A and B are shown apart, each in its own frame.
Chain A
Amino acid sequence: MSTLDRKLSRDLWRMKGQAAAIAVVMALGVMMQVMMAGLVVTLDETRRGYYERYRFAEVFAPVTRAPSHVLHQVAGLPGVARAEGRISGAARIELSDRAVPVAAQALSLPDHAEPALNAIRLQQGRLFDPGAPEEVVLLDTFAAAHGLRPGDALQVVMNGARRSLRITGLARSPEFLYAAAPGEMVPDDARYAVLWMSQTSLSASFDMKGAYSEFLVTLTRGTDPRGVIEALDHLLKPWGGSGAYDREDQFSHRFVSEEINGLRDTAAAIPPVFLGIAAFLLNIVIARMVQAEREEIGLLKAFGYRGSEIGGHYLKLVLAIAVAGALLGALLGILSGRAMVQLYLHFYKFPFLVFRLDPGALALGLVVSVLAAAAGGAVVLRQIFALHPAEAMRPPAPADYRRAGRWAGALKALDQPTRMVLRRFTRTPFRMLGAVVGITFGMGLSVGMLTIHAGFNQAVALSFDVLDRSEATVSFTHAVSQKTLLELARHPGVLRVEGARSVPVVLRNGRRTHRGAITGLPPDPELLRALTPDYIPIALDGPGLVLSTALARKLKAQAGDVLTVEVREGAQPALRLPVTGVSETVLGAPAYMALEALDRALFEPGRISSAALRLDPAQAEAVQVWLRDQPVVAGVSLKSEARDAFERVMNQGTGATRFIMAAVAFTITFGIIYNAARIALAERAHDLASLRVIGFSKGEAAYVLLGELGLVTLLALPCGAFLGWGIAHMLAAAYSSDLYTITVVFRPAAFGFAALVVISGAVLSGLLVKRDVDRADLVAALKTRD
């Protein structure tokens, strides 16, 4: 080891506290990058592999009833690679441990062959025996939520008839990576099930002998799905085809894509902020660190060391810190990525999910850290090289007092240590500015994270206490007469009933399309409401649409635009409807319309498909039991359960990254402040020792240093508050997706708490540094010039 390298290792050891703080800040920036990018790759690749392995269809074509020979025609369409037919129907599972029935989807699999498309992955048990019609394979996550196992019995209502089935196996499928009860957006394992049964068995239940109710298709390479969809729609029209759609509109795929895209957006927007801030700090800190080495650099030059040798030496120092930070960050990123993957497994029913490193992200993190660090060092080295060695070896020229002179009068009133604190600001304004900017970033990150937390909580409250004030929603098996409402209203324990009609549609505004639903609401609703962003109810009347903010954004539509609406139900009319307003929403991207106008447009007056209820808490249980036995009831969803599910998805799904980010933000904040304090100490160690020598007490000496830190912190707080408000908006945009919209809400508490974080960081750093001031060996400090 050369002498310079030995110096390097000792210098590193000497500044270990500071080096560690820098490395950690860098590490956290890299960690975010590695974690987020890795999650995107992991989800994306795992999904692709899963789809391929289990032959997930690319186009789905539901029909009312098509004879099985149509499958050959479907398979023969140009561009179709493989085709499969199946029976699909709604079912209700009745469980002894629940008053409310569980909505389920029943799907057929071929009796004797592997399905050509949409195969399932058996997790436990075996497939049904096609000769035993009561055998069923159940979605494993639902089974787990209720403790069901192969061999257990299951009471199921299909097509109005109750059947007693026996579970033979538990499975999952790429079709149900994301599965939510009908009409809901947020998954809840306990409240949604999928049943796979033999063709023979299911056709008996749904009157589908020799027929299919859905066709699945994959495409040959390079085929545009739109052509195939058109051909399918044409082919299946006589069989009640309700419109073929491609994967992008398949419920599960769409949400997983949303998640991946959201994550990709977040990964593109947020880690760079952290990484950027970390790089900026690294740059400043390294610059100041090298600045402090000025005399040693001058000495090395005096001995005849070349610029490249000295530069190499400091580069090594900087690289040691940056690379250590980046590697630590990669490690943390992988660990937190693995933890996040476990969370994702709760929401996305992948058979397995192994966190993958995105080598690009890792490389980027490394390169950014190293470049930022090297740049910080290089700028200062150049400045120092520009000096003559004789000058560099002298301590920096005494600071210019002339500028301080102007303030001298005002300063006279203050005691000497306070004057020393204030003079630092007038004498070395750029250094102080650097420190203020650093802490501003810390404060900004904290404010941003806390405000976003408030936004998430607000989203829950807004969605479940303001927009939707019902306690339960009953969905019907088909559009029923409004008279059903009267029946519901008459039942004891039901305090209020409001019907709604939900119709599947494709909305088009120019080239932008959205596949979703229009919800018809009664006049002056009290339970489910459309509200303006200021929470004023929007009156729905006439044939106009009120779009949710998310939908308006997606379609780039505003009040006054006229949308093309293709109804995917009944007679499937195509309508032209004007947009009359935009409403605040949290969950999904709904569109509202007056119920009456909607029914009229469909030529089905007086029909509803669901009802919102307010219940007497004392009789809620009884009402649920009663509802379970009503044949027209497809399912009941309880608000409390939906709320729990939503909170779960926000706290454990993508939203969970915000906890990691908050932790990272706080740590970075502390790292920044601690660094600022350490640097101040390094720059003033000599002064402080001199002060102590001429008789100042430890407290007074520390005050000179801590006063500076305190003042810097105070200046940074308001700047950071503003920055944080901006960061919060950026985070909100990154977190919002088709699934939920996060809005920024002003919460003074978020600012207060962030300030508290910053101030405690400052106090803690101050205490750590003060310890060093107190311990300072005066003799040693004065003897060597370092």
Chain B
Amino acid sequence: MPQQPPIYRVEGLTRVYGEGASAVHALRGVDLELPPGEITVLLGPSGSGKSTLLNILGGLDRPSAGRAWFRGEELTAMSDRALTRYRRDNLGFVFQFYNLMPSLTAEENVELVTEIARNPMDPAEALALVGLDTRKDHFPSQLSGGEQQRVAIARAVAKRPDVLLCDEPTGALDSATGREVLGVLQHLNRSLGSTVMIVTHAAATAEMADRVIRFTDGAIRSVEHNDAPRAAAEIEW
């Protein structure tokens, strides 16, 4: 198999919050290369810097030091305008705290993204993928936490993004729904070749990954390759 150029490359990425004695080192010099089309799972204890890394890769935050590239273009050198373009054209997000618009219905929350995407799915179709097609007219306040989570995932996959960045997508879900949701991510990865990055505390998720990265204290402890990832439906919780 010919070596593909990496979709993400990261060198010496550092992120420090605050200054002086109270400074928090969320990332301490992370180096990483991710080939395209893989599912990567990021594991690590709470506060180890997983969300911080994801935010920087997603162009939502900037590192204190170090550089990051997306398909050879340096993210860390991009203007805000270029980052916006990058997010709009390439990324799908699932946030740790769902972040739905309270004044929009489930379907409208999905539409918010599909309206500015180049090749989106039908919002109803995306909601069907997460099993919520019957709840499309409900507002976030009328949905359970897990249901809100699933709307957030439908919203992320609906634009058929090149890259899906998911922060604890199954955190609030029971095992059956969790498996279904992961299945959607895997389906997207297999059918469209989307690169998927999943931050999770559920170690079992690693079974479906091509690559597993373990994080502690702002640094990578290990990277494992999984030559035979399992189908999401087969994962034991």
Chain A positions near chain B (C-beta within 8 angstroms): 2-4, 6-7, 10-11, 14, 295-296, 299-307, 309, 385, 388-391, 393, 780, 783-786
- Smallest distance from the beta carbon of A620 to chain B beta carbons, Å? 75
Q: Is the CB of A7 within 8 A of B84?
A: no
Extra contacts, 6 of them, besides A3-B108, A307-B81 (Cβ < 8 A), are: A11-B103, A299-B99, A302-B95, A303-B113, A390-B61, A785-B97
| Complex contact B58–A302 (CB within 8 A) | yes
Q: Which of B74-108 contact A (CB under 8 A)?
A: 80-81, 84-89, 91, 93, 95, 97, 99-104, 108
- Are B60 and A388 closer than 8 Å at their CB atoms? yes
Chain B residues near A393 (CB, 8 Å)?
60, 95, 99
Q: What chain A residues lie within 8 Å of B89 (beta carbons)?
A: 304
Given A306-B84, A307-B84, A389-B60: A295 and B99 interface contact (C-beta under 8 Å): yes
A391 to B55, CA, bound (A): 10
Q: Which residue of B lies closest to A781 (CB)?
A: B141
Task: Give the docked Cα–Cα distance between A86 and B22 (Å).
Answer: 97
Complex-state Cα separation, A303 to B59, whole angstroms: 11
- Can you show 15 pairs from A to B with CB atoms below 8 A apart? A2-B115, A3-B111, A3-B115, A4-B112, A10-B104, A296-B101, A299-B99, A301-B84, A302-B93, A304-B87, A304-B88, A304-B116, A306-B88, A388-B62, A390-B61
CA distance A692 to B223 in the complex (A): 47
* Contacting residues, chain B, for A6 (C-beta < 8 A): 104, 108
Contact of B103 with A10 in the complex, beta carbons under 8 Å: yes
- CB neighbours of B59 from chain A (8 A): 389
Most chain B C-beta atoms within 10 Å of own C-beta, residue among A6, A304, A305, A393:
A304
Report whether A304 and B85 are in contact in the complex, using a CB–CB cutoff of 8 Å: yes
The A/B interface has a contact count, at CB < 8 Å, of 85
Of all A-B residue pairs in the complex, the 9 with the closest CB atoms, nearest first, are A304-B88, A390-B60, A304-B87, A390-B61, A390-B55, A10-B103, A784-B102, A389-B60, A3-B111
Residue of B61, B88, B112, B115 contacting most chain A CB atoms (<10 Å)? B112
Do residues B101 and A7 form an inter-chain contact, with CB atoms below 8 A? yes
Q: Return the chain A residue nearest B52 by Cβ.
A: A390
Residues of B within 8 A of A11 (CB): 103
B218 interfacial by beta-carbon distance below 8 Å: no
User: Are A305's CB and B103's CB within 8 A?
Assistant: no
Residue-wise, chain B 187-213 has the 8 Å CB interface mask toward A (1 for contact) of 000000000000000000000000000
Report the minimum CB–CB distance from A781 to chain B (whole Å): 9
Question: Is there contact, CB below 8 Å, between B93 and A303?
Answer: yes
| Contact partners of B44 in chain A: CB under 8 A | none
Residues of A contacting B: mostly: helix
**Is there a chain A Cβ closer than 8 Å to B178's Cβ?**
no
* Residues of chain A contacted by B112 (CB below 8 angstroms): 3-4, 7, 300, 303
Q: Are B99 and A391 in contact (CB under 8 A)?
A: no
B140 at the A/B interface (Cβ < 8 Å)? yes
Min Cβ gap A310→B in Å is 10
Most buried by A among B93, B99, B103, B145: B103
Tell me the smallest distance from the CB of A779 to a CB of chain B, in Å: 8
Decide if B84 touches A304 in the complex (CB within 8 Å). Answer: yes
B interface list, Cβ under 8 A from A: 55, 58-62, 80-81, 84-89, 91, 93, 95, 97, 99-104, 108, 111-113, 115-116, 140-141, 145
B88 CB to nearest chain A CB (Å): 3
For A300, give the chain B residue with the smallest CB separation. B112
How far is B60's CA from A299's CA once the two chains are assembled, in angstroms? Answer: 10
Tell me which of B62, B80, B102 has the highest count of chain A C-beta atoms within 10 A of its own C-beta.
Answer: B102
A305 touches B116 (CB 8 A): yes
Residue in A closest to B92 when the chains form the complex, CB atoms: A303
- The residues of B that contact A784 with a CB separation of less than 8 Å are 100, 102, 140-141
Contacts of A4 in B (CB 8 A): 112, 115
Contacts of A390 in B (CB 8 A): 55, 60-61
Complex alpha-carbon distance, A7 and B81, angstroms: 24
Q: List A contacts of B101 (CB < 8 A).
A: 7, 296, 299
| A303:B116 contact, CB within 8 angstroms | yes
- With the chains together, A75 CA to B116 CA distance in Å? 80
Question: How many Å lie between the Cα of A784 and that of B101 in the bound state?
Answer: 9
Minimal Cβ-Cβ distance residue in A for B89: A304
User: Which residues of B lie under 8 Å from residue A10 when comparing CB positions?
Assistant: 103-104
CB contacts (< 8 Å) of A14 on chain B: these are: 103
Partner of B88, one of A305, A388, A389, A391: A305
Smallest CB–CB gap between B40 and chain A, Å? Answer: 20
A294 CB to nearest chain B CB (Å): 12
Cβ-defined contact, A305 with B84, below 8 A = yes
Bound-complex Cα distance A786 to B113 (A): 20
B60, B81, B140: the one within 8 Å of A302 (CB): B60
A564 to chain B, nearest CB (A): 74
How distant is B107 from chain A, measured CB to nearest CB, in Å? 9
A555-B104 Cα distance, complex, nearest whole Å: 68
What's the nearest-Cβ distance from chain B to residue A397, in Å? Answer: 10
CB pair A780 B91 closer than 8 Å: no
- Contact A7–B87 (Cβ < 8 Å): no
| Bound Cα distance from A189 to B113, whole angstroms | 72
Give A686 to B2 CA distance when docked, in angstroms: 54
A732 to chain B, nearest CB (A): 49
Say whether B141 contacts A780, CB under 8 Å: yes
Assembled-state Cα–Cα distance A299/B98 (Å): 10
Contact A7 B103, beta carbon cutoff 8 Å: yes
CB contacts (< 8 Å) of A385 on chain B: these are 80
Q: What are the residues of chain A within 8 A of B88 when measuring CB–CB?
A: 303-306
Please, which residue of chain B has its CB at the minimum distance from the CB of A6? B108
Identify which of B62, B91, B100 contacts A304 (C-beta below 8 A): B91
In the assembled complex, the Cα of A389 lies from the Cα of B88 at a distance in Å of 13
Nearest-Cβ distance from residue B170 to partner chain A, whole angstroms = 19
Please name all residues of chain B whose beta carbon is closer than 8 Å to the beta carbon of A296 when the two chains form the complex.
Answer: 101
Question: How near does chain B come to A398, taking the closest CB pair, in angstroms?
Answer: 12
Q: Closest Cβ of chain B: how far from A195's Cβ, in Å? A: 73
- Closest A residue by C-beta to B145: A783
Which A-chain residue is minimally distant from B110 (CB atoms)?
A3
Q: Once the chains are docked, how many angstroms separate the CA of A6 from the CA of B60?
A: 26
- CB neighbours of A3 from chain B (8 A): 104, 108, 111-112, 115
Chain A residues with CB below 8 A from B115, complex form: 2-4
Q: Is the CB of A303 within 8 A of B62?
A: no
A391-B102 contact given A3-B108, A303-B88, A304-B89, CB 8 Å threshold: no
Min CB distance A517 to B, Å, is 71
Alpha-carbon distance A299/B97, docked complex (angstroms): 11
B97 (CB) vs chain A CBs: closest residue: A785
List residues of chain A with CB within 8 A of the CB of B111: 3
- Measured between alpha carbons, how far is A306 from B99 in the docked complex, in Å? 18
Closest to A12 in B: B103
Which chain A positions have C-beta within 8 A of B85? 304
Cα-based distance from A295 to B80 in the complex (angstroms): 18
In whole Å, how far is B6's beta carbon from the nearest beta carbon of chain A? 22
The residue in chain A whose Cβ has the minimal distance to the Cβ of B113 is A303
- A783 near B99 (CB under 8 angstroms)? no
Distance A783 CA – B138 CA, assembled complex (angstroms): 14
Give the one of A14, A389, A391 with max B CB within 10 A: A389
The distance in angstroms between the C-alpha atoms of A596 and B111, with both chains bound, is 94
With A301-B84, A302-B87, A303-B87 already in contact, the answer to whether A7 and B60 are too (CB < 8 A) is no
What is the bound-complex CA distance between A786 and B104, given in angstroms?
Answer: 12
Residues of B within 8 A of A309 (CB): 116
Q: What distance in Å separates the Cβ of A446 from its nearest Cβ neighbour in chain B?
A: 36
CB distance from A625 to the nearest CB of B (A): 80
Complex Cα–Cα for A10 and B108 (A): 12
Q: In angstroms, how far is the closest chain A Cβ from the Cβ of B41?
A: 21
A7 CA to B103 CA, complexed, in Å: 6
